[in-house]
Amino acid sequence: MASLFLLAFRSFTRRYTFVHVHNMPDVLVFSALIPKLRGAKVILDLHDPMPELMMTIYGLKRESFGVRLMNKLEKWSIRFADVVLTPNIAFAKLFSARSCRADKLQVVMNSPDEGIFKYRDSAQEIPMKRDGTKPFIIMYHGALVERHGLDMAVLAVEALRRSVPGAQLHIFGRSTPFFDGVMKMVQARGLQEAVRYQGAKSLDQIVEAIDGCDVGIIPNRQSVFTEINMPTRIFEYLARARPVIVPRTTGIQDYFRREEIIFFEPRDVNDLAQKMQYVFSQPSETNEIIKRGQAVYRAHRWNEEKSKFLNVACALVNGSGRSRGRRGPIDDQFPKIAEDEAPTHGSVCSMEC
């Protein structure tokens, strides 16, 4: 409501060319009602499909009232917007199948800030032979919630230590009740030396941690949401020339083939442990996988994705449903964007004439 009244008030003192709304919730897009009535175009940025995410977090059934309501709100929100953005192919297929015309939908991927996650080449990053006297550091960073499968990672590291005694799992993120339960499991299994909680860190500190690890992991537990998600953390590891082990899900396989990243079978702790063992014992092959994975990342670096977004916005401003190509440097085609909030989940930004 605050965004609705704020934009309504501002619309009578200035005219907006377009308003860019980030879910969640999807209905935040209706805060652009008055600017839209006064001629502004509206972009709805669906970072996550709310029905699938809520089903995963709260264990809701697809036929439940809450999920059916969220599906209707999604359709109404998409209908209100002029263009819909979403960050991966699997999300786009989902929205197109149930709520959105394909020609109204554009994929603009979430990609790491290149000013923080500076790209470095993989050629000299992975040693050709492991030093068995040094710790083998496996890194997890992100939200410490059940759907991210951190408990599976702990069990996999426990299995790995039978063959790699120096294996350590370093965990970065803000503590949660779920994580408290994981750490109780760590203590019960006597893994205090193997599992080390590093706390919440800044992005700069996360980069340092990635540089100091041997492999990153995305141990997501399989669900209707994680099956179609494409975690940005994958690109964060690849940007810094680090291998990353990921679940074999649709959202990730839309971008990576088996020779471009290290897949494990979702819900299979033993397979996750085996892939950790592979990274430890096969550094040369791992380095080749990193090189191929970095080629995928380079195709979706933020400079590339930003150009896609600005071309979509340019097409809207010019009154076309699709980009007509650039008339010059794309950053020079727009007036200054005024942001009411940083463009994250549940935020609105607008551009004045």
- In whole angstroms, give the CA distance from residue 136 to residue 149: 20
| Superfamily of segment(s) 136-299 | Glycogen Phosphorylase B; (3.40.50.2000)
pLDDT(191) > 70 = yes
Contact 107, 88 (CB under 8 A): yes
Sorted by sequence, the CB contacts under 8 Å of residue 145 that are 6+ apart come out as 57, 176, 178
Identify the pLDDT of residue 322: 47
Averaged pLDDT, 244-273: 98
pLDDT at 325: 39
Please give the model's pTM, rounded to 2 decimal places.
0.88
Residues of each domain in the chain carrying CATH 3.40.50.2000: 2-110+301-352, 136-299
pLDDT at 246 over 70: yes
Confidence at residue 2, expressed as pLDDT on a 0 to 100 scale: 76
Tokens representing 200? 């919440």
pLDDT tens-digit readout, 7-30 = 877 877 888 888 999 988 999 999
- Bridge partner list, 349: 20, 339
pLDDT in tens, 51-90: 999 999 999 999 999 999 999 999 999 999 999 999 999 9
pLDDT band at 184 (very low <50, low <70, confident <90, very high): very high
Looking at domain 2-110+301-352, which CATH architecture does it have?
Answer: 3-Layer(aba) Sandwich (3.40)
In angstroms, the Cα distances linking 51 to 61, 225, 230, 287, 299 are: 10, 9, 17, 38, 30
